[in-house]
Amino acid sequence: MRFSVILPVYNRAASLAPALESVLNQTRPADEILVIDDGSQDDIEAALAPYAGRIRLLRQANAGVAAARNAAVAQASGDWLTFQDSDDLWTPTHLESVARDLATAGADVVCHLGDVVYVGEGYEESLFAIKARRFPAGAAERLEDPLPLVISGMTLQAAAIRRDVFTRLGGFDAEMRMLSDTAFFCQLALEGAFLLTRDEMARIQRLPGDTDSITSLHRKNTLYGRQMHVRILERLLPRKLRPDQRQLVDRMLSGAEFRLAEVLHRSDRGAALRMLMQSARRHPKPITGWSKAALAALLGEAGYRRVLERHRSLDRS
């Protein structure tokens, strides 16, 4: 099996070296490393000069991280795709763990996922702890229905994805400036089984003063982020879903629409009310859906706050 590493970079010449070296220093080396420059304005060539011959540099005009990843995948030769970002750190045994678990995986396995640790000022927390899920260490557990795990968000740096399935799904949605990875994981979860291990794959860093990160974009444009959450879930509706999956998608989409209504309420109360009604109609438990909508409609911002404090899972929808 061959592993391709996809590493997009945009204006990260200063932080790129540690991220790249964490890929180069794997106990099981990558078969190829594709760094794609998404129209950076800093000196990426100088930052990458020490790695000449060990990586392949691709370039494109600035089109966003989803388009950059797609362009790199189109040039990849590996049968498994792995992903790194320009400011994060892979653990040294990342690819060793993946190769160990995939060595005995069936052809219906479409993705391997490990844990990651989010690190920032004043916090350090693992992905699986946040999701309150436990998986084995030193081995992998097969998950037949990964949708409940990934629908609330998933980190691409933890993943190895079968390239033929990635291509069949059309890759990442290049029109999405954020959350294209979660959107893809939701579609991928309907294609086959995942393998899950508690082995740590990466440390996801939030660098001080970084205004180009997706997290920063989400904070600056909350409305767009809420719209993208709705988009992700709406695109699951045409897929062939089991009854339990349909109920999950409806519940999560109702929650995403409620959160979108909350943001719309600040600038367009008519649009907010329409979205609120849509959220209520969507909810698989009508009494629950309409009671939330009524509280928000009657009390405005105070009503939205009361509902969201009581149903914090909506924050992930």
- pLDDT, one tens digit per residue, over 281-309 is 999 999 999 999 999 999 999 999 999 98
pTM (2 d.p.)? 0.92
* Residues 99 and 172 both lie in one domain: yes
Q: Which domain-ending residue is among 171, 186, 208?
A: 208
Residue 20 lies in a domain: yes
Residue 216 lies in a domain: no
Residue 22 lies in a domain: yes
* Residues 123 and 39 both lie in one domain: yes
Q: Does the pLDDT at position 146 exceed 60? A: yes
Q: Does the pLDDT at position 272 exceed 80? A: yes
User: Of all residues in the chain, what percent carry a pLDDT higher than 90?
Assistant: 90
* Residues 59 and 128 both lie in one domain: yes
pLDDT in tens, 237-248: 999 999 999 999
* Residues 15 and 138 both lie in one domain: yes
Task: Give one word for 194, left, alpha or beta, with left for phi > 0 and alpha for psi -120 to 50.
Answer: beta
Distance between CA atoms of residues 257 and 21, nearest Å: 41
* Residues 110 and 165 both lie in one domain: yes
Confidence of residue 115 (pLDDT cuts 50, 70, 90): very high
Distance between CA atoms of residues 260 and 70, nearest Å: 28
Give the number of other CB atoms < 10 A from CB of residue 254. 25
pLDDT in tens, 86-100: 999 999 999 999 999
Q: Does the pLDDT at position 120 exceed 90? A: no
* Residues 190 and 60 both lie in one domain: yes
* Residues 236 and 199 both lie in one domain: no
Distance between CA atoms of residues 222 and 129, nearest Å: 25
Sign of the CA dihedral running 275, 277, 278, 283: positive
Query: Quick one: pLDDT at residue 122?
Result: 83
**Spatial CA neighbour of 250 closest among 199, 200, 214, 286:** 286
Q: Does the pLDDT at position 257 exceed 80? A: yes
Residue 147 lies in a domain: yes
Q: Angle at which helices 269-282 and 286-299 pack, to 10 degrees?
A: 160
Query: Quick one: pLDDT at residue 315?
Result: 39
* Residues 61 and 191 both lie in one domain: yes
* Residues 262 and 180 both lie in one domain: no
| 16-39: average pLDDT | 97
Residue 170 lies in a domain: yes
Residue 215 lies in a domain: no
In this structure, the chain runs to a length of 317
Query: Quick one: pLDDT at residue 219?
Result: 56
Residue 214 lies in a domain: no
The CA-based angle 39-92-186, given to 5 degrees, is: 60
Whether 284 and 251 have beta carbons less than 8 Å apart is answered as yes
Q: Which domain-ending residue is among 186, 208, 230?
A: 208
* Residues 227 and 166 both lie in one domain: no
* Residues 92 and 36 both lie in one domain: yes
Which DSSP string corresponds to 239-292?
A: S---HHHHHHHHHHHHHHHHHHHHHHTTT-HHHHHHHHHHHHHH-SSHHHHHHH
Sign of the CA dihedral running 18, 24, 30, 35: positive
Give the number of other CB atoms < 10 A from CB of residue 103. 8
Region of poorest pLDDT, from 34-38, 166-170, 218-222, 234-238: 218-222
Q: Does the pLDDT at position 312 exceed 90? A: no
* Residues 229 and 185 both lie in one domain: no
Q: Over the chain, what is the mean pLDDT?
A: 93
Q: Does the pLDDT at position 313 exceed 70? A: no
Residue 16 lies in a domain: yes
pLDDT in tens, 37-61: 999 999 999 999 999 999 999 999 9
* Tally of domains within the chain: 2
Which CATH number does the domain housing residue 65 bear?
3.90.550.10
Strands in the chain per DSSP E = 3-9, 32-38, 56-60, 80-83, 89-90, 109-120, 123-126, 141-143, 159-162, 193-205
Whether 91 and 201 have beta carbons less than 8 Å apart is answered as yes
Confidence of residue 209 (pLDDT cuts 50, 70, 90): low
Q: Which domain-ending residue is among 181, 208, 235?
A: 208
* Domain ranges, residue 158: 3-208
